[in-house]
Amino acid sequence: MKTNAVRLLDTLGVQYELREYEVDPEALDAESVARKIGLPAEQVFKTLVARGDRKGVCLAVVPGNTELDEKALAHATGDRKTEVVPLKEVQPLTGYIRGGVTALACKRTYPVFVDETVELFDVIAVSAGMRGLQIVLAPGDYLSAVHGTVAAIARNKT
């Protein structure tokens, strides 16, 4: 399956593996996806769309077993505060639907902030730009492809 995200990686010469999984519209969370593709939830990164009060829209990429720390993201972006955008804004901003959002080949180029735990793994998984398909690749390749900034932006779920 060739999505825009996959095409971008091909253009950049990045090695990756695609993993397909059965989509359950009631279970689009990263932890469910992790079980389906055979990786621990901490290695399956979800992409969230956030908006800061000064810098505007950015993408926050955090492990599937955590949640975004909006205060930490604001510190990383230079905003006073950030918040996740309402779901209805996600597709118009990114071109992707819930469960398929990725920082790879987004509709527009936004700053990308990736949780620092990304550097703990040999491989991570991120959405390939559609539900039911994940890209497994080296964290360094992912960071290069999205021009990501590594920051401590995740916290344990409460």
- Give the rounded percent of residues in the chain with a pLDDT score beyond 90: 91
Placement of tokens 């950015």 in the chain: 58
Q: What is the pLDDT of residue 136?
A: 98
Which residue type occupies 66? T
pLDDT digits (tens, 9 = 90+) for 115-144: 999 999 999 999 999 999 999 999 999 999
Domains of the chain (ranges plus CATH)? 4-156 (3.90.960.10)
- List the structure tokens of 120: 């703990």
Asked if pLDDT for residue 1 goes beyond 90, the answer is no
Placement of tokens 């700053």 in the chain: 111
Gap between the Cα atoms of 24 and 16, Å rounded: 24
Summary mean pLDDT of the chain: 95
- Give the rounded percent of residues in the chain with a pLDDT score beyond 70: 100
Question: 12, exposed or middle or buried, with CB in 10 Å at 0-12, 13-18, 19+?
Answer: exposed
Gap between the Cα atoms of 151 and 86, Å rounded: 23
pLDDT digits (tens, 9 = 90+) for 47-62: 999 999 999 999 999 9
Three-state SS at 116: helix
Asked if pLDDT for residue 158 goes beyond 80, the answer is no
